[in-house]
Structure 1
């Protein structure tokens, strides 16, 4: 198994991050352009923005996966929890432990920040991702997600 290292994204990671972000958008069938990707990159590099980017690096330092996380208020708990917005591992690194390292990086961040929970959503058709997440959570929560799109 490869030794992986988790870091926050750095300025020099932009090109490698973009390849993975494009792959993530392609997986979900979401068109990606420079304006959107550049805006997300600015968010990730802005210490005042809530969104943060973690990347997983292989033993050569190459980035093979990403996770976008943020603090999210949980009013009923009177606390913040973590929210994992996006997670993507390059196809060639899947099954190698890179995704496990990313999720453990998110867990360590949650512990460091005092988040008692981390939530995320995935599409029903993401069978491989759901199988992976089930290993960590025991299965999906009892919540049903709704989305109200503004026209």
Structure 2
């Protein structure tokens, strides 16, 4: 399968929205129209990054969203991959790898030094994708701490 990755554009909103709704449902998260528009505007803000994958017919079959972060001690920064999704019918065809590579290139163009993303530990496909890109010297563990 040939896949083309491109930054999000206004003309892809409805195709993106369809996949985003499926992504949210898979994660058992109900999203409102307001939340959808917040995501859409966030990934199109200066410094943030959103991209979609197109198959050979031009259909949108996946997306990735990333936002910048800074590492104060190291005086550098990276992208936090917030969302990565590939349509179930397109999985196992290299779409997710192509999306991550595209974000990595965008990060490099912005002189960002790394990507971070979190995933459920019980998802072997995501773990395999992360391992493909992982820095063996990394070793940091990101914890989520609820507040309020």
* TM-score, length basis structure 2: 0.88
State yes or no: 1:113 paired with 2:105: no
User: Is there any run of 5+ residues in structure 1 with no aligned partner, and where?
Assistant: none
- How many equivalent residue pairs? 148
Query: Using the alignment, how far apart are the partners of 2:13 and 2:136 within structure 1?
Result: 34
Deviations 1:109-128 (A, max 9, x none): 12211111111111112222
Distance of 2:26 and 2:137 partners within structure 1: 21
In structure 2, which of residues 43, 60, 65 is the aligned counterpart of residue 63 of structure 1? 60
Q: Is the partner of 2:31 in helix, strand or coil?
A: coil
Structure 1 residue runs of 4+, over 3 Å off? 138-141
- Alpha-carbon distance change, 95 to 52 in structure 1, aligned in 2, over 3 angstroms: same
Distance in 2 of aligned mates of 1:75 and 1:122: 24
Alpha-carbon distance, 1:144 to partner: 2.7
Residues 1:83 and 2:80 are matched in the alignment: yes
Q: How far 1:104 sits from its partner (Å)?
A: 1.1
2:94 matched residue in structure 1 = 97
Q: CA separation in 2, counterparts of 1:27 and 1:148?
A: 23
Q: SS at the partner of 2:78? A: strand
Deviation of residue 138 (structure 1)? 6.3
